Amino acid sequence: MLGRLKGWLQGGAATAAGHPAQAAELRVLMVCTGNICRSPTAEGVLRARLARAGLGARVEVDSAGTQGYHTGEAPDPRAVKAAAARGYDLGGLRARPVQPADFQRFHWLIAMDEDHLAWLRRKAPPGCTARIELLMPHGRRHAGVTEVPDPYYGALAGFERVLDLVEDACDGLVGRVQDHLGGGVRGHA
């Protein structure tokens, strides 16, 4: 099945989050600054959408930050609250920084904003075959929005906005994953 991905996604066999290497045909890493607001939200939403599409066992999703100053911490309580109100569980997630091995481990590294995208591209080792791109261009309902804004210094409404954007973009991502893995049921994401 991985042969179908050749030319589109390539990567190593190691995994994060304790998943067996053979279990995931595709590995996706969501990236923001501290890995306590946007990227764990995106991880939780994408996992749920993939599970609903019947692809949960085939795709590993993780998240990390460009900075390590929240390493080991749970997501921001406001992110957890906003996500829970929509049925997403972020409770077991813990912040971690992007590691050099992530560029080989993951097929797809997805940045929340332009700064994260630039950082990932700078840190990618020579010969890196992982796709590195922004999340929001995958969205369908938020034309012209290119970044997921950082809600950290704002109120709960900012976390709701993040969820609106992330849900839209993750629906688009699920469609791309379905197209490339040749699985799942269209329209259920």
Which one from 52, 115, 128, 150 is the annotated catalytic residue? 150
Distance of CA 37 to the CA centre of its chain: 12
Find, among 159, 33, 47, the residue nearest to 95 by Cα.
Answer: 33
Q: Which residues contact 105 (CB under 8 A, 6 or more apart)?
A: 11, 12, 14, 15, 16, 27, 29
Measure Cα distances from 176 to 94, 113, 135 in Å. Answer: 27, 20, 12
Which one from 32, 78, 96, 168 is the annotated catalytic residue? 32
Edge-to-edge strand list for the sheet holding 108-111: 59-65, 26-32, 108-111, 131-134
Cβ-in-10-Å burial (0-12, 13-18, 19+) of 18 comes to exposed
CA–CA separation, 20 and 11 (whole Å): 15
Contact call for residues 55 and 34 (beta carbons, < 8 A):
no
CA–CA separation, 103 and 130 (whole Å): 6
Helix (H/G/I), strand (E/B), else coil: 79:
helix
Q: Is 37 one of the annotated active-site residues of the chain?
A: no
Which one from 27, 37, 38, 96 is the annotated catalytic residue? 38
Q: Is 102 one of the annotated active-site residues of the chain?
A: no
Q: Is 47 one of the annotated active-site residues of the chain?
A: no
Q: Which residues are catalytic?
A: 32, 38, 150
